[in-house]
């Protein structure tokens, strides 16, 4: 047992659970040293606290920038009392070792995530003393415990009440501390790389540094991955944007699966395309239905009718809070829905969805209030064996003023509206992607085929007789006229595609032969 008093250094930005934790430490006989706002919080709670400046006999200076960077602090953290040279130095300078360092950091990542934050504001949130204390304590974990998260408080306090932190306990805490400081430093490095990119190129696209280190926090361990024999977990960014699945709250239903999360992400990405009330039906990461309407329930009915067979066991997304009329449609007999994501759920709608259908206990209801906020994830990552592919997300608005009508017949106003709708949805379909639409609703989708012609066959088959007077969107150019000929057989009247094929003239001629209108967008939307 130590002959010196038990001491804890407490300096935290996030004060969640702080007072109960420190109260427990005081009850165990710990003397508490603290700084600034942490000290005030503890004193206001009636806890005995010694100011760090009183212990060091040196005041906080430079508006608090310098307060813990002092030999009496770091000596108390790094000292090894069983080493004669360390013990002698500590005795000579009146240094009493800490048993615990409780510290978390300035909210740098949260600060830079705010819209309009300035560089000086960001720089002021770069913590210096905190990482220094944390890394010192983690290095010296053979003698000292370092607590860096409120989630650790209960375990640490329980362990101390029954004895002492073991070396294994301290080593685990040290590992978590180094993970935190590594993540923090990488966020700062990424921020400065981003500033350099903006300064050098005078644009705000994603930065691709020479060295890329990513940091994510585990949110949940999943039951399994894509298949039951695969383990899986869900990791999130430290400050995910509000328009992300990572920021959504599960309000009801079974735990989310790996495949649920993939489909929810796809559903959210599509429904964000529309300002009008919109509904999207996702199956295996592709939209089997999507529609806009004057009301949310009308949009859902049109979306579900796009492919009701495929919609069984689907994921649904809405860009408005689910109301009673929409819930009535969702609860219609014969429908089975895995999950629903929306900005929210009206009280009555929520009660209906969780009490009426056969699947009421299982359906996952996800609230994402910020789903229509601007922005979202900036870059995409995809793992390949031995490496990582990184790219800008394909989520920028298309420059519609650059679209060109290349056929003799111009699209009617109604056709142009449907073409714009189809184009928004088509870019979210796996390539090769062909999508038929009419009156603001998807009628048929051909996705992920090795041949664009095969995708055309499938889309036309799904649409059936409804394809008369429809429009077709293709995520990439038609390499031959056969895709257009197939669309004409189905009764399609207008086409939208990027253009750029060596056979463009042949394809344009085919449209003219069939009396079809065609727009070239000049932009491809492959989604592999």
CB-based contacts of 172: which residues, under 8 Å, 6+ apart? none
Neighbours of 178 (CB within 10 A): 17
Q: How far apart are CA 466 and CA 492, in angstroms?
A: 10
Q: How far apart are CA 61 and CA 45, in angstroms?
A: 26
Q: How far apart are CA 301 and CA 4, in angstroms?
A: 73
CB-based contacts of 271: which residues, under 8 Å, 6+ apart? 278, 279, 280, 317, 318, 319, 371
Q: Are strands 364-367 and 337-342 parallel, antiparallel or unpaired?
A: parallel
Residue-by-residue DSSP string for 2-45: -SSPPEEEEE-S--TTHHHHHHHHHHTT-EEEE-HHHHHHHHHT
Give me the catalytic one of 139, 219, 360, 527: 139
Give me the catalytic one of 15, 284, 360, 527: 284
Q: Is residue 527 within 8 Å of 433, Cβ to Cβ?
A: yes
Q: How far apart are CA 277 and CA 441, in angstroms?
A: 12
- Give, in degrees to the nearest 5, the angle at Cα 168 between 164 and 174: 100
According to the 3-state scheme, what is the secondary structure of 364-383? EEEECCCCCCCCCCCEEEEE
Q: Are strands 387-392 and 379-384 parallel, antiparallel or unpaired?
A: antiparallel
CB-based contacts of 116: which residues, under 8 Å, 6+ apart? none
Q: Is residue 152 within 8 Å of 175, Cβ to Cβ?
A: no
> Is-catalytic flag, 284?
yes
CB-based burial label for 472 (10 Å; 0-12, 13-18, 19+)? buried
Q: How far apart are CA 358 and CA 377, in angstroms?
A: 36
Which tokens go with 57? 């006999």
Q: How far apart are CA 137 and CA 142, in angstroms?
A: 9
Residue-by-residue DSSP string for 297-340: HHHHHHHHTT-TTTTTTEEEEESS-B-HHHHHHHT-TT--EEEE
Grouping H, G, I as helix, E, B as strand and the rest as coil, residue 254 is coil
Which tokens go with 205? 């696209």
Query: Which residue numbers are catalytic?
Result: 139, 284
């Amino acid at each position: 047992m130590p002959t010196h008093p038990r001491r804890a250094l407490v300096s935290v930005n996030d004060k969640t659970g702080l007072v109960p934790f420190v109260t427990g430490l005081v009850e165990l006989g710990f003397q508490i040293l603290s700084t600034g706002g942490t000290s005030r919080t503890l004193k206001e709670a009636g806890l005995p606290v010694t100011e760090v400046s009183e212990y060091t006999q040196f005041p906080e200076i430079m508006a608090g920038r310098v307060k813990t960077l002092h030999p009496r602090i770091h000596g108390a953290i790094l000292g090894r009392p069983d080493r004669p040279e360390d013990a002698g130095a500590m005795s000579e300078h009146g240094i009493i070792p800490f048993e615990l360092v409780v510290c978390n950091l300035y909210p740098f990542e949260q600060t830079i995530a705010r819209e309009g934050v300035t560089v000086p504001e960001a720089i002021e949130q770069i913590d210096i003393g905190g990482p220094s204390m944390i890394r010192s304590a983690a290095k010296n974990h053979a003698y000292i415990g370092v607590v860096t998260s409120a989630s650790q408080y209960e375990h640490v306090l329980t362990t101390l009440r029954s004895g002492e932190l073991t070396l294994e306990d301290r080593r685990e805490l040290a590992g978590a501390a180094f993970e935190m400081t590594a993540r923090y430093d990488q966020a700062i490095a990424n921020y400065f790389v981003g500033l350099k990119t903006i300064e050098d190129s005078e644009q705000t696209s994603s930065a691709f540094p020479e060295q890329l280190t990513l940091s994510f926090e585990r949110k949940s361990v999943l039951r399994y991955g894509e298949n039951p024999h695969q383990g899986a977990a869900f990791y999130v960014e430290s400050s995910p944007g509000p328009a992300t699945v990572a920021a959504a709250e599960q309000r009801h239903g079974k735990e989310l699966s790996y495949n649920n999360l993939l489909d929810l992400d796809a559903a959210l990405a599509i429904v964000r395309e529309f300002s009008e009330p919109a509904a999207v039906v996702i199956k295996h990461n592709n939209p089997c239905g999507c529609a806009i309407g004057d009301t949310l329930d009308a949009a859902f009915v049109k979306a579900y009718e796009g492919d009701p067979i495929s919609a069984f066991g689907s994921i649904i997304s809405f860009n408005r809070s689910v109301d009673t009329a929409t819930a009535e449609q969702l609860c219609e007999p014969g429908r089975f829905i895995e999950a629903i994501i929306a900005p929210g759920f009206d009280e009555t709608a929520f009660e209906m969805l969780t009490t009426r259908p056969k699947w009421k206990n299982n359906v996952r209801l996800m609230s994402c209030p910020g789903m229509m906020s601007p922005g979202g994830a900036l870059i995409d990552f995809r793992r390949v064996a031995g490496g990582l592919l990184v790219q800008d997300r394909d989520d920028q608005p298309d420059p519609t003023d650059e679209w060109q009508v290349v056929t003799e017949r111009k699209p009617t106003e109604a056709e142009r509206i449907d073409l714009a709708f189809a184009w928004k949805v088509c870019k979210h379909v796996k390539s090769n992607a062909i999508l038929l639409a009419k009156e603001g609703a998807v009628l048929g989708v051909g996705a992920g085929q090795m041949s664009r012609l095969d995708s055309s066959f499938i889309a036309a088959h799904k649409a059936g007789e409804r394809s008369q007077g429809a429009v077709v969107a293709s995520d990439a150019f038609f390499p031959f006229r056969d895709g257009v000929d197939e669309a004409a057989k189905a009764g399609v009247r207008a086409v939208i595609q990027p253009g750029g094929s060596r056979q463009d003239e042949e394809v344009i001629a085919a449209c003219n032969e069939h009396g079809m209108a065609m727009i070239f967008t000049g932009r491809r939307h492959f989604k592999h």
